[in-house]
Chain A
Amino acid sequence: DTAVSQTPKYLVTQMGNDKSIKCEQNLGHDTMYWYKQDSKKFLKIMFSYNNKELIINETVPNRFSPKSPDKAHLNLHINSLELGDSAVYFCASSQGDRGPKTEQYFGPGTRLTVT
């Protein structure tokens, strides 16, 4: 009964490849997020979707493209991977995008290593 799940947990790939990370939540939430955590543990939001609509798009290279086929899923596709993309990527979800409902639930993370 995992609340927010991500696949894969580990991803090792070479520079220039294209890869996807999948996220699913079974909490009935309508807002989902992608965060990037660098090697120093710094967390920064990348994208946020509310009811399948993009509401936050931080300064992220356009090689990163989120896709939300439905409210329960938010996938992250990365083209032309670079060494600097190596990080842990976390998916999260919340019941709403403002007010007391904004408590976010995080997935276990996907550790991406680009060689």
Chain B
Amino acid sequence: GNSVTQMEGPVTLSEEAFLTINCTYTATGYPSLFWYVQYPGEGLQLLLKATKADDKGSNKGFEATYRKETTSFHLEKGSVQVSDSAVYFCALFTGGGNKLTFGTGTQLKVEL
């Protein structure tokens, strides 16, 4: 079956630090990959996505590259801000399963 593994949190960083949140996956077929962000008290928002190998998704300074050879989709940002504090979810979608499979989420706390 499909599964997504994320690094455990919480991850605590100082403002302007470099961020990496690791995500690896197991899937049948050729999944699309997503990062969703959940700010405190809110629903999930799509942050970025990639639909095929070597695609790079990017948004708001965040980037992730679809690496088929390592089955990974790590999230990176060069300089985090306090406003980036949230829970980040890696997810995959395969048409055959008709559903998003989420990782367990990684909480990010950015401090001044």
Contacts and interface: CB of A to CB of B under 8 A. Distances in A.
Interface stretch (A14-22, A72-80, A100-108): A100-108
A97 B38 CA distance: 22
Interface stretch (B18-26, B61-69, B76-84, B102-110): B102-110
B108 to A, nearest CB: 12
Contacts of B44: 43, 90, 92, 106
A48 B43 contact: no
B98 A97 contact: yes
Contacts of B105: 41-43
Nearest to A111: B41
Nearest to A103: B46
A45 B43 contact: no
A97 B98 CA distance: 6
Given A41-B104, A42-B104, A102-B32, A108 B43 contact: yes
A41 B95 CA distance: 25
Query: Chain B's interface: helix, strand, loop or mixed, by majority?
Result: strand
Interface string B19-49: 0000000000000101010100011111001
B60 to A, nearest CB: 16
Nearest to A104: B100
A12 interface: no
B5 interface: no
Given A41-B104, A102-B93, A108 B42 contact: yes
Contacts of A103: 34, 46, 49
Interface in B71-94: 87, 89, 93
B98 A98 contact: yes
A44 interface: yes
Given A98-B95, A99-B95, A100-B51, A45 B104 contact: no
19 contacts: A41-B38, A41-B105, A42-B102, A43-B105, A44-B102, A48-B99, A55-B98, A90-B44, A92-B44, A100-B51, A102-B32, A102-B95, A102-B100, A103-B34, A104-B46, A105-B46, A106-B36, A107-B43, A108-B42
